[in-house]
Amino acid sequence: MNFINTKIKDVYIIEPKVFEDNRGYFFESFNQKNFEDFGLKYNFVQDNQSKSSYGTVRGLHFQKGEHSQAKLVRVLVGKVLDVAVDLRKNSPTFGQHVAVELSAENNRQLLIPRGFAHGFSVLSEEAIFTYKCDNFYCKESEGGIRFDDPTLNIDWQIDLSKANLSPKDKEHPFFKDFESCF
């Protein structure tokens, strides 16, 4: 595995070593020893998967307090723009984001530590998205920020006037009205 630094400390792009032949390909999508050798210690306890159509935006979501989650995300089918926003109030990159294209073709993953909001937009006809979490989901601890926040200025690479959103994602507060719990 190749761990690539991003502009925000502790957020990594991970590229697996892909072995291809006439049958197809094989790669390790996660290897605890490789993570630990790189100095990363995560105990992933829950895997999630979603299927979405083009123009869907899921996010920006996070879990608060003791239910905060780190995530290791990747795409099984299709292509997404994956976004992590730094919500750590004492971080020099507070309010900044990393955006990375993840696809079934590039096999890239994004490691997002606790203290970040996370979301993605679907850039292909459909996408199957999967992620590991290092803590269990807790409905009472969920939080979010508006995906179209002008302060964050995220280019989701889709027409936002036609974005497919959940009712809940339309109601999240703007970043200027957000008080970080991290």
Active site residues: 61, 131
- SS3 letters for the chain? CEEEECCCCCCEEEECCCEEECCEEECCCCCHHHHHHCCCCCCCCEEEEEEEECCEEEEEEEECHHHCCCEEEEEEECEEEEEEEECCCCCCCCCCEEEEEEECCCCCEEEECCCEEEEEEECCCEEEEEEEECCCCCHHHEEECCCCCCCCCCCCCCCHHHCECCHHHHCCCCHHHCCCCC
